[in-house]
Amino acid sequence: MATEQKPVGVAVLGYGNVGSEVVRIIENSAADLAARIGAPLVLRGVGVRRVNANRGVPIGLLTDDIDGLVSRDDVDIVVELMGPVEPARKAILTAIEHGKSVVTANKALLASSTGDLARAAERAHVDLYFEAAVAGAIPVIRPLTQSLAGDTVQRVAGIVNGTTNYILSEMETTGADYASALADASVLGYAEADPSADVDGYDAASKAAILASIAFHTTVTADDVYREGITAITPDDFVSARALNCTIKLLAICERITDADGTEMVSARVYPALVPATHPLATVGGAFNAVVVEAEASGRVMFYGQGAGGTPTASAVAGDIVMAARNRVQGGRGPRESKYAQLPIAPIGKVSTRYYVSMDVADKPGVLAAVAAEFAKREVSIAEVRQEGVVDDGGQRVGARIVVVTHRATDAALSETVRALEDLDAVASVASVLRLEGTNP
């Protein structure tokens, strides 16, 4: 008669949207999970800030003694879903020190401390899994660490924040301005009461740091990621984007670049960009996420799906729990941190891409030539230029607008050009500067 496997004990820290859904999966799918793992998965406790009887879980499982819970002998895996960076970091390190494997969805913590946590897990010979930290239910981390482990990743680019993608999609389809689209996102629950982490790009920057670290075997923190948000995007930008057969998306881009002296570097950046309608990311609408990975041998691979929400994120967390539990039962280990390359981080000034520059100018002869001259002085080649009249509410022409699309140029050269344009008497203002991604010229 076969010996029954010892149960794998799980402690969940946090009982919000994701935590409650993870607990539901553990309880409602017990038989299936046991079959997949090879041993029963047992919920040992749920760590909360305040214990009360209205949580939908037996009160005997609730505790506000986080350190005590993660140190218990009958707990094998700690699932951290409480955030923010602290007290989550302390709880995870305490769990690791007591020999527990850890599953977390805490992107802000991982973007600042992934190296410390990974080294602690390595010393303790336990697992650290974090699939849910980037793009919710979309499997991105595991393909990068396992499926593409034998390939050389060149670029990872994607839409990794559902709130901003919803706002930009609404602006494109309805013609709404930023403030109105944000208000709609708030009503639907896509935007937090304080949306700055999303709309200013901080959330996407944390995810970009995680993706770059894994893809390029290099320590990249959120502070290394160049960041711009979407608050300055206007309906006029979408009008111009449509004229160029493009849309606008907030992109997280991580890529290998080589500078003028042949040094290989890592660039990690987040900003709104024009994306051609023919690019696969252009069709990702609403609160959905998508990540495109480009590798040397496998070419382009795309991952698409629900990027946020309690149920999709809990699905990714549950997958990590199963992986960690299997390793416990079988005596194995998950992938270790790989930072052997330690490539330098490229400053944004060295990054080369295409640009869209819109400026309001005086409506008189010679202005276009003066504008073109400033681009030429800094060797920023113009691919396309359009000049159109600006009229007031009465239909009277009151000025002109020039839109320039460049060939590839460094950010440093483009920034110098913009400063020079702003100093021209004929230029009233540089209304918008956006990158153009997903094209080659």
Per the annotation, binding residues for NADPH are 107
Angle at the Cα of 174 from the Cα atoms of 172 and 179, rounded to 5 degrees: 80
Question: What region, left, alpha or beta, does residue 305 occupy, with left being phi > 0 and alpha being psi -120 to 50 degrees?
Answer: left
Q: Are strands 62-63 and 41-47 parallel, antiparallel or unpaired?
A: parallel
Active site residue 207: yes
Catalytic: which of 6, 90, 100, 207?
A: 207
Q: List the binding residues.
A: 13-20, 107, 192
- Residues 28-42, buried b or exposed e (16+ Cβ, 10 A)? eeeeebbeebebbbb
* Rounded Cα–Cα distance for residues 138 and 161 (Å): 12
* Rounded Cα–Cα distance for residues 99 and 125 (Å): 8
Q: Which of 45, 54, 50, 84 lies closest to 64, judged by CA?
A: 50
- DSSP, collapsed to helix, strand or coil, labels residue 184 as helix
Q: List the binding residues for L-homoserine.
A: 192
Q: List the binding residues for NADP(+).
A: 13-20
- DSSP characters for 219-242? ---GGGSEE--STT--HHHHHHHH
**Residue 260 burial (C-beta neighbours within 10 Å; 0-12, 13-18, 19+):** exposed
User: Which strands make up the sheet holding 62-63, listed edge to edge?
Assistant: 62-63, 41-47, 8-13, 77-80, 101-104, 128-129
DSSP 283: G
Per the structure block, which two tokens stand in for 163? Answer: 């709130």
Q: Which of 43, 275, 284, 12 lies closest to 132, judged by CA?
A: 12
Q: Which residues carry out catalysis?
A: 207
